Amino acid sequence: MLTLQGSQVRASFLDFFKGKGHAVVPSANLVPQNDPTLMFTAAGMVQFKDVFTGKETRGYTRATSSQKCIRISGKHNDLENVGVTARHHTFFEMLGNFSFGDYFKDDAIAYAWELLTKVWEIPKERLVITVFGGENGIAADDEARAIWRKVTGFSDERIIGMGAKDNFWSAGDTGPCGPCTEIHYFTGDGEATLGTFGDEPGPDGIGWMEIWNLVFMQFDRKQTADGFAMTPLPKPCVDTGAGLERVTSVLQGKRSNYDSDLLRALVARASELAKKPYGATLSDDDVSMRVIADHARTTAFLIAEGVFPDRGDREYVLRRVMRRAIRHGHRLGIKEPFLHDVALRVVETMGETYPELVERKNVIADVTQQEEVRFRETIDRGLRILDDEIVALRGRGSSTLAGDVAFKLYDTYGFPLDLTEVIAKERSLEVDKAGYESALEEQKKRSEGSKVGDKAKDDVWLSLKEELTRAGSESTVFVGYEEDKASGKVLALVKDGARVARASEGDEVDVVLDRTAFYAESGGQVGDTGELSTEGATLRVSDTQKAIGATFAHRAKVVRGALAVGDTVLGTVDTKARAETRRNHSATHLLHYALRAVLGEQATQKGSLVGPSRLRFDFSHGRAVSAEEITKIEALVNAKVLENAKVVTEVLPIAEAKARGATAMFGEKYGDVVRVLTMTSDSVELCGGTHARATGDIGLFKVVSESGVAAGVRRIEAVTGEGALAYVQKLESEVRSAAQVLKAQPHELTEKLEKLTQASRALEKELAEAKRKLAFAGGGGAGEGGKGGGLDDLAARATTRSFGKVLAAKVVAPDGAVLREMAEKVRDKLGDAIVLLGAENAGKAQLVVTVSKGLVGRFRAGDLIKPVAQIVGGSGGGRPDMAQAGGTETQKLDEALKKLDELTAE
């Protein structure tokens, strides 16, 4: 049997099928494109779905690929098995060959057998075949069995018939379907015994492991009056999948995928970080190391594709995976953030094959580390609360954590239920899941109760939509791309969530028209404002929204006369505000181009808000954008503005738009026909908003702020046109005013401020030192009448106990550092001593306790400071020999100092 590295296995598979006339197709993204039914790509056939169904044709009829896959949601969810078994992963690569009406069972089986036994030289004695044995009225796949007999020379004993669950594939209840045949490999050292076939490999990894599945799509299943009927497909297809990790472990003679070169380096890095050896066993430590190795791959690849941990569907799945890995690191005793380190090892080991990992290396590291820092804070906070609850449980003799407590941990502190369950299990406790679900349901009911009013309003709009649909006018006709004025008939008026027939002066209403030039808010662009008028009425429009579907609601106030359903109004858009919004919206497209050009292709749009005064653009990026980068971004955008290129908008079928390379904007849904916005050759995107006629209309683009809004998501706010001019003029005015105050020219301000800052720091340092000397010279004001004669006088006030000296005194100290230094110096003068000093600063009480080393076995500074701090309304802590505290009740400082006598009483 050949011994190959993982990369060699991948290459030899693709080269083999390329030699059989297959087109080598690159892996599709993990996030399926234009397929809302799937969260992640879980199989090699996903990118070929439309080819299999005949909706799409390509320039080849046979293909091969190594597809990145994630199985962590829906029916494809291997999460709980990861780390426990030798072969399950959340991220893996699926090797596959596909035939779209070209070859069928004969060639598919022959190809698989040739590659396995001739090219890779796997002994056929260690292989077993399964075929569909018939079930639910569907005949057995005797054709495949006969082909296998001919190709392999196996008897029927080694060609095993199985049921539909294992050996019949279907896309759903109806549609393409067909039998499949699987190839299994025996991982043990001795003879491959058929008696154990069908059993899962044991904890030692020994057993029969599926390594390749060949699916034969040959039927079309349709629903009939009697149930279902299957008819042969005119062009049967082949879809096969072999896990790269499994094949690699076979060819390297490993019983566990984690011991192959594909994952070994990641497990080793987890072991190094944990400072614990990896034994390839089912011990808790070894399981945790495997979990970290697997989850680091999923983390790196998803972040490389622009999926960042957050609350969205995919984003939350990633967060869950990352936090599961972090939790296992916590269990291993890794104290510092580590997952980014292992993720970077993924980049090192797989970056040559998947260059997007290298391109987005910094983003992967930054986002991963930020998420871990946040989650560790959550763990620490939650663990403290959980520990208190567990102590209380032990005291009551209970072994069940209440469901409402688990819910509070989740709802208030972000501590996930599955993590609470893991920790409880480690402490031999159970979690009342029913109670948790009940608390969750109660919260939902409270939330629903707050939405009753909103539901009533929604019902009004739903009934209105049904009425308009029956009348054939459910969609407001929008003519605002070409016009800024339009006449329309009033179809409905809604006031305070209820339908009305008439609106009078002073009323605020939603006006529904059959035709309008007002743009309704969507795609991040705010709704138009303006005026609705008739001979007898004037309404000021403050906003335009899509009330439901494509029905526009003009939010307006009647400022003159009255308006009734059935009236015809003239709607006039505020052209100044619209022009400013157009400039800003067009600028967001140029900004998107510039961000990708400067920061990398991962800087994709995550959201936007475009209004007349400014634009806001959220994008994926793992760190703050530097001032230098912002300057480059501004320069690129303004260069495009100066080109004064014509902004072209076309209405095209969505397939043609995508063929031209148009990209979709974040959060937008598109129909069969879309608007394609072309601003330059660098910016071609789908967009339904209103835009400038030419890039020069933008006038000037200026970034006013850059900030973070979520993990791995940054936000830029900017202004254009007159807004940009006003912003620059204001900055210039402020600069000139500052120059006058500092008596300098504008270009001298930086140098002048640096000198003033240095001088100020020097003076602050001198002042602090003077205060310190004054405090020590006067003993902190501790002598008779507050005129202390120095630290010696302060030390002289100590009382003598059998174990040493005790001193509690109120002093004058400029800050906590000086107070601490005074306490240490007095303690050193006293020998074996306990010293408590208190001072008042900036309206706060400050306290310091220090204990000589010879006494820390009997008295701990941290234990002494807590009850003292409580008296002044504060808290504190520290080392056994030194502790500090603060409080707000300065009037109780003397009382607090007296507490030391009680705490040290013999």
What's the pLDDT at 311?
A: 73
| Backbone dihedral angles phi then psi of residue 606, each to the nearest 5 degrees | -120, -5
What's the pLDDT at 62?
A: 96
With respect to CATH, is domain 6-259 assigned 3.30.930.10? yes
What's the pLDDT at 549?
A: 73
The CATH architecture that domain 578-729 belongs to is 2-Layer Sandwich (3.30)
SS3 555: strand
Give the residue among 663, 667, 680, 657 at the shortest CA–CA distance from 601.
Answer: 663
Q: Span 455-573: which CATH code?
A: 2.40.30.130
Phi/psi-derived region of residue 497, left when phi > 0, alpha when psi is between -120 and 50, beta in every other case: left
What's the pLDDT at 389?
A: 80
What's the pLDDT at 30?
A: 92
Write out the DSSP string of 229-286: EEEEEEEEEEEEEEEHHHHHHHHTT-SSGGGSTTTHHHHHHHHHHHT----SSSSHHH
- 118 alpha-carbon distance from chain centroid: 45
How many Å is the maximal CA-CA distance in the chain? 110
Identify the helix (H) or strand (E) that includes residue 37: none
pLDDT tens track for 591-625: 999 999 999 887 888 889 999 999 999 998 878 99
HEC states along 464-523?
HHHHHHHCCCCCCEECCCCCCEEEEEEEEEEECCEEECEEECCCEEEEEECEECCCCCEC
| Backbone dihedral angles phi then psi of residue 814, each to the nearest 5 degrees | -70, -25
Strand partners, 714: 619, 708
Write out the DSSP string of 642-667: HHT-B-EEEEEEHHHHHHTT-BPPTT
Query: 10-residue block means of pLDDT along the chain (906 residues)?
Result: 95 98 94 77 88 82 96 68 86 96 96 98 95 91 96 94 91 81 90 74 76 94 80 91 97 94 96 95 92 97 88 85 91 93 97 92 89 82 77 79 86 74 84 90 67 57 78 83 94 92 95 95 92 96 88 95 96 96 96 94 86 93 92 97 93 79 59 79 85 94 92 90 94 92 89 91 85 70 48 89 92 88 92 93 91 90 90 85 91 92 87
SS3 88: coil
Strand partners, 851: 834
What's the pLDDT at 327?
A: 86
Q: Span 778-903: which CATH code?
A: 3.10.310.40
pLDDT tens track for 45-79: 988 888 887 777 888 999 999 999 999 865 556 67
What's the pLDDT at 22?
A: 97
Identify the helix (H) or strand (E) that includes residue 704: strand 701-710
480 Cβ neighbours under 8 A, 6+ residues apart = 486, 516, 517, 518, 519, 528, 573, 690
What's the pLDDT at 468?
A: 79
833-841 and 804-810 as β-strands: parallel, antiparallel, unpaired? Answer: parallel
Domains of the chain, by residue range, sit at 6-259, 264-398, 455-573, 578-729, 742-774, 778-903
| Whole-angstrom Cα Rg for the chain | 36
CA distance 85 to 256: 8
CA distance 7 to 265: 14
394, 355 Cβ separation under 8 angstroms: no
Q: Would you give the DSSP letter of residue 882? A: E
What's the pLDDT at 448?
A: 57
